């Protein structure tokens, strides 16, 4: 009887051990599968952000990415700044009116707002930035999409108030036939009286103030653009590493 009881206990213990081992293996497999799912989600989030920065080809045409868009905005604001300098120089030298001034008047008062398409970043942020092990990439993301962007939004607000309260009322008095299209050939402002305009201290002050504000705005635009370029390089390395790791897993 004792031998039978001992054998039964050994058998029962063996069964329990097998069950426990089976549970542990199942948990390990489940954990491994969950980790694979999480790594896929993380890779997809990084790829999404990279695609937004690069742009994509759809229906045979190239859709510009965030990098290209921000570069265009910066270039256009630089043209606006150049027009301000052209006009200030023209007035300082007391040069006569010419047709090119029509474009420069309009272009000097055209501002390209540096909004950013940040949905892909928000998706990463909502998931949790902690999964990004590259400290430099994580830091640049926060600076570009939050710190720099918030400051540019603040500058936009200040410039909007300045232009609506100070600039536009004076422009309405001093110019006629105003047209502010995106295309250069369709952008012009014709002064009501050029001789009075070139001696108008208020307008010259506004022109110089607009120039200084454009310089400040461009400074932060270009700073963010440089960070976006760095982010793009970091992303490409991170995606390549994760893809290789996934393939070898």
Q: Which residue has the higher pLDDT, 57 or 207?
A: 207
- pLDDT for 26 equals 72
Range of the domain at 240: 2-248
Which range has highest mean pLDDT (14-28, 42-56, 165-179)? 42-56
Q: What is the mean pLDDT of residues 180-203?
A: 82
Q: Residue 176, exposed/middle/buried by CB under 10 A (0-12, 13-18, 19+)?
A: exposed
Element (H, E) at 172: helix 168-174
Q: How far is CA 199 from CA 109, 128, 150, 177, in A?
A: 19, 58, 38, 21
Q: What is the pLDDT of residues 103-114, one digit of tens each?
A: 999 999 999 988
> For residues 189 and 175, is the Cβ–Cβ distance under 8 A?
yes
The pLDDT of residue 95 is above 70? yes
Q: Under DSSP, is residue 190 helix (H, G, I), strand (E, B) or coil?
A: strand
**Residue 244 pLDDT exceeds 70:** yes
Give pTM, 2 decimals: 0.83
Query: How many structural domains is the chain composed of?
Result: 1
> Higher-confidence residue: 101 or 186?
101
Block residue for tokens 């290209």: 68
Predicted confidence (pLDDT) at residue 227 exceeds the cutoff of 60: yes
- Between residues 36 and 127, which one has the greater pLDDT? 127
**pLDDT recorded at residue 184:** 52
- The Cα–Cα gap between 7 and 179 comes to 99
């Amino acid at each position: 009887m004792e031998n039978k009881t001992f054998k039964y206990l050994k058998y029962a213990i063996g069964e329990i051990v097998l069950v426990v081992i089976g549970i542990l293996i199942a948990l390990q497999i489940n954990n491994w599968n969950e980790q694979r799912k999480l790594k896929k989600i993380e890779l997809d989030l990084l790829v999404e952000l990279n695609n937004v920065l690069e742009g994509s080809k759809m229906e045979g045409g190239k859709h510009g990415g965030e990098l290209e868009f921000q570069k265009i905005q910066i270039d256009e604001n630089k043209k606006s700044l150049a027009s301000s300098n052209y006009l200030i120089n023209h007035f300082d030298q007391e040069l006569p009116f010419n047709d090119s001034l029509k474009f420069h008047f309009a272009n000097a008062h055209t501002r390209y707002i540096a909004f950013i398409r940040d949905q892909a970043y928000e998706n990463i942020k909502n998931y949790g930035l902690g999964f990004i092990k590259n400290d430099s990439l994580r830091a640049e993301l926060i600076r570009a999409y939050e710190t720099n962007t918030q400051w540019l939004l603040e500058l936009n607000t200040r410039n909007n108030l300045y232009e609506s309260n100070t600039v536009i009322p004076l422009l309405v008095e001093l110019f006629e036939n105003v047209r502010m299209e995106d295309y250069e050939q369709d952008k012009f402002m014709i002064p009501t009286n050029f001789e009075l305009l070139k001696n108008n201290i208020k307008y010259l002050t506004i022109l110089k103030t607009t120039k200084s504000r454009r310089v400040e705005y461009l400074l932060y635009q270009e700073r963010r653009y440089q960070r976006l370029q760095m982010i793009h390089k970091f992303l490409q390395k991170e995606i390549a590493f994760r893809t290789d790791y996934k393939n070898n897993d």
